Amino acid sequence: MMAVETASLRRVSSPSCARIEVDGRSLLNFGGSAYLGLGGNAALLDAGAAALRRFGVHSQLGRHYGYALAPNLEAEQAARAYFGVDGAMYFGTGYLFGLIAIPALAECCDAIFIDEAAHYSLYDGARASGRPIHTFRHCDAADLGRQLAHKPTAGARPMVVTDGMFATRGTIAPLADYERLLRRHAGWLVVDESHAFGVLGAQGRGAVEACGIAPDRVVAGGSMSKAFGAHGGIALGPARIIDLLWRAPAARGAALGSSAGAAMTACSLQLVRSQPELRERLRTNTRLLKRSLRQLGLAIDDNDSPVSAFIVGDAGRMRSIQEALMQEDIFITYSQYVGAGAEGVLRVAAFADHQASDIHRLQSALGAILLGAPARVGLRSAGA
């Protein structure tokens, strides 16, 4: 995909919430991943600003020298409490999760099995591990089972790598099926929860919680800049494994992140833990959004993901739909991101700070645009 020329970039001048300001226009926003609506939360912003004033941008002393910035330790403590684990690490960006976790676990595994639609960062981590890499069909436990039975050498220990909730289409990986397969082989499961953290599961702990799997042979992690509205990345797992992750090359040097990102992460984890109504509002809006899109004749996946993705005709048609909605001051994403496919998809996300009237407004505007299409039979699920 070609990079967008700087001259054609639209200027965003607000936090990412249900309403954003773009090129001076106020838009109703269904794009991006601010699922809990915390992009402009005053408590998070105050925590970040206070950390900058007290600690500066970041520490000059790395973890491998035996030093840690106080906000980083606070973020890790908050993560252990929120996710109910005994091991957590904070680092500068969620993209580093795969580059830290997968090479670190390579000494415990002999081969890597990765979902064909996994995030780019997970493939980067798999390649950096030096272990043989096998891809399995997207969210297909049966194909993974066949490969685990035939591809590794006798006694080989596998690592299965996947997103928990896939960014573009909102598909949720069948982690319970993967776990059952791995237990036969004494394998490990690495799950990028960037889009599932704060969203899935009874406590908002991600797809691992939602799928009800035991965490003892799982390393989960990812970005804190989605639902949690903060910055940086975390990794979660048994404490002895997190200690191993700190020895990975990508966990050294520039992995520490900023004091503001760590302080905002700690604050957000504490806030979301104390305000379960945020997740309930998101779930209510998710159900309403999916129902509203189905009423337009769109085939929307039936899951708990706040993301709904669909295809209408070809890329040109979808771009025109996105632009027509922009004329109504409504933003949705035409996405060619990882997993979108050759033509791309239209991606719509529910946020906790959407009102029911916002979703009805989208439904009305999109419905009018779709009725102008030559045929309704061109509407299909992005997963079709």
Q: What are phi and psi of 330, to 5 degrees?
A: -125, 130
Same domain membership, residue 258 and residue 217 = yes
Domain around 52: 42-274
Same domain membership, residue 250 and residue 377 = no
* Cα–Cα distance, 64 to 83 (Å, whole number): 25
Same domain membership, residue 190 and residue 61 = yes
The domain boundary, picked from 255, 274, 293, lies at 274
Same domain membership, residue 258 and residue 346 = no
Q: What is the pLDDT along the chain (384 residues), one digit of tens a residue?
A: 445 566 689 999 999 999 999 999 999 999 999 999 999 999 999 999 999 999 999 887 778 888 889 999 999 999 999 999 999 999 999 999 999 999 999 999 999 999 999 999 999 999 999 999 999 999 999 999 999 988 766 568 999 999 999 999 999 999 999 999 998 888 999 999 999 999 999 999 999 999 999 888 999 999 999 999 999 999 999 999 999 999 999 998 667 899 999 999 999 999 999 999 999 999 999 999 999 999 999 999 999 999 999 999 999 999 999 999 999 999 999 999 998 988 999 999 999 999 999 999 999 999 999 998 543 334 455 664
Same domain membership, residue 362 and residue 269 = no
pLDDT of residue 366: 97
pLDDT of residue 72: 95
Same domain membership, residue 168 and residue 101 = yes
Buried b (16+ CB within 10 A) or exposed e, 74-89: bbbebbbebbebebbb
Query: Is position 307 within any domain?
Result: yes
The domain boundary, picked from 274, 297, 317, lies at 274
Query: Is position 4 within any domain?
Result: no
pLDDT of residue 62: 79
DSSP letter for 381, please. Answer: E
Give 40: exposed, middle or buried? Use CB within 10 Å, 0-12, 13-18, 19+: middle
Query: Is position 336 within any domain?
Result: yes
Q: Tokens in use for 16?
A: 């990412």
Same domain membership, residue 361 and residue 343 = yes
pLDDT of residue 383: 61
CATH classification of the domain holding 319: 3.90.1150.10
Q: What are phi and psi of 156, to 5 degrees?
A: -65, 145
Q: Tokens in use for 144?
A: 């993974």
pLDDT of residue 64: 82
Same domain membership, residue 167 and residue 61 = yes
Same domain membership, residue 174 and residue 67 = yes
56 close to 263: Cβ distance less than 8 angstroms: no
Query: Is position 2 within any domain?
Result: no
The domain boundary, picked from 227, 248, 274, lies at 274
pLDDT of residue 221: 98
290 close to 302: Cβ distance less than 8 angstroms: yes
Give 343: exposed, middle or buried? Use CB within 10 Å, 0-12, 13-18, 19+: middle
Q: What is the tally of structural domains in the chain?
A: 2
Q: Would you list the DSSP string of 171-220?
A: -B--HHHHHHHHHTTT-EEEEE-TTTTTTSSTTS--HHHHTT--GGGEEE
pLDDT of residue 254: 62
CATH classification of the domain holding 167: 3.40.640.10
How far CA 249 is from CA of 64, 253, 352, in Å, comes to 11, 8, 37
Same domain membership, residue 116 and residue 155 = yes
115 contact partners, CB below 8 Å, separation of at least 6: 135, 136, 138, 139, 161, 162, 163, 173
